[in-house]
Amino acid sequence: MGGGGVGPIMGILFGALHFPGTAVAAIVPLWLLTTFATARTTFRFVTKRRLRELERLADRLANLARDLIPTARAP
């Protein structure tokens, strides 16, 4: 993915498949949009997974702290 993928795609489309030169106006923005959408989707899933992991760790830490702190005794 990324902007570097445009070169091989253009080579295939224009060299092998003989697309007209005006197709660049549609192909390049579509490729970059696809790259951006893929990056954003990946980022969203990774951050959601890390948020769930962080919440689990915070819950474990809270439980551990609760277990380690002695309860107050009535006088």
Indicate the domain borders of the chain.
Answer: 3-67
* H or E element in which residue 73 lies: none
Sorting pLDDT into bands at 50, 70 and 90, what band is 64?
Answer: very high
> Which alpha helices (DSSP H) does the chain contain, by range?
6-10, 24-68
Length of the chain: 75
Whole-prediction pTM: 0.63
Whether the Cβ atoms of residue 42 and residue 2 lie closer than 8 Å to each other? no
**4-59 residue pLDDT tens:** 777 788 888 888 888 887 888 888 888 889 889 999 999 999 999 999 999 999 99
Residue type at 45?
A: F
* 3, two tokens: 């902007």
Burial class (CB in 10 A: 0-12, 13-18, 19+), 31: middle
> Greater confidence, 22 or 62?
62
